[in-house]
Amino acid sequence: MPSLNAKAIRLFTRATIKRHGLDLDEAVAHMRRQINNNALPTLLPLGVRAERCSIAGINGLRVAVKKPRRTLLYFHGGGFVAGRPDTYKNFAGRLAKQLQAEVYLPDYRLAPEHPYPAPIDDAVACYHWLLSNHVDPSTLAIGGDSAGGSMTLATLLRLRDEKAPLPAAAFALSPAGHLGCTNPSMDDNDHLDDMLSADLIRRCAEAYAKGQDPSIPYLSPALGEYHDIPPLALAVDENECLRDGAHDVAQKMREAGGTVELISRWGLFHVWPIFTPFIRESREDTAQIGRFLNRYMNFNDRLKPAA
């Protein structure tokens, strides 16, 4: 049974974020208004500090414990058209404490001004920047939510295809796996999803793909091959329009003999784990993701202390 706070957030997001019938420009403006302008920055947990940083020439946020021994590279959500790192301080801080880590949140380029492959190029550049700055890949994980979850999966596929060193583990929360938006849950769950509509997702996908073939695995990572991918955790609510992407990737990981953990919930909402200050289920599942990462990440004693 979802908590009362979770039910309240479902009602709030249905009233403020979910929209039907918007054209592309209206959808982008709506997402930026709701996610960039109206979302409040969250407070850091005790024992964690945040500082502005530059990652591969990209502005961002570094959230870290005093003496970090691991590194997490995290890509924020926002439909590829919106989002900002400041709203993730509490979520990132909790993972930083659990992992004894520094968390880098790059403010990557956004569509429609910078469509695919610009955000993925930024993600890969940030990853290589970390490797060039004394981060051993065995001590490094990557993750993201929604569009950032899609970017996480696409980054894994691209790093593997380019034969680059892979991170120790990864996670994707409610990832956008099918940019063609033809997967069954897109329309089947349109009336059930309390945050996103199929219309809104399609407009964001249109802005990001900008006429390119959505079957490209880096655009639709649920269509990729998942051999030689590091341990991967996925989370999705069964009522989401994006439900199928997480399940399809989990199945491909199993078929390829990979290590995968799927957190499946009923009665919550899109990317619920990032709402750590507000609902019990977020804190529980963020801790579960942290335990998953802890099993696969080594320690690195060459990282700089937090400011």
Catalytic residues: 146, 240, 270
Count of positions (residues) in the chain: 307
DSSP symbol at 243: H
CA 103 to chain CA mean position, Å: 13
Dihedral of alpha carbons 50, 52, 55, 59, sign: positive
Reference 280, options 291, 294, 267, 292; nearest CA is 267
List CB contacts of 28: < 8 A, sequence separation 6 or more: 81, 82, 112, 203, 204, 207
What is the distance between the alpha carbons of residues 151 and 233, in angstroms, rounded to a whole number?
14
Residue 102, token pair as written in the block: 């520094």
Instruction: Round the CA-based radius of gyration of the chain to a whole number and report it.
Output: 18
Residue pair 42/91 in contact (Cβ under 8 Å)? The answer is yes
Render the burial of 134-154: b for 16+ CB within 10 Å, e for the rest: ebbbbbbbbbbbbbbbbbbbb
Tracing tokens 């990979």 back to the chain, one arrives at: 258
CA 126 to chain CA mean position, Å: 15
Q: How many CB atoms lie within 10 A of CB 170?
A: 27
DSSP symbol at 70: E
List CB contacts of 163: < 8 A, sequence separation 6 or more: none
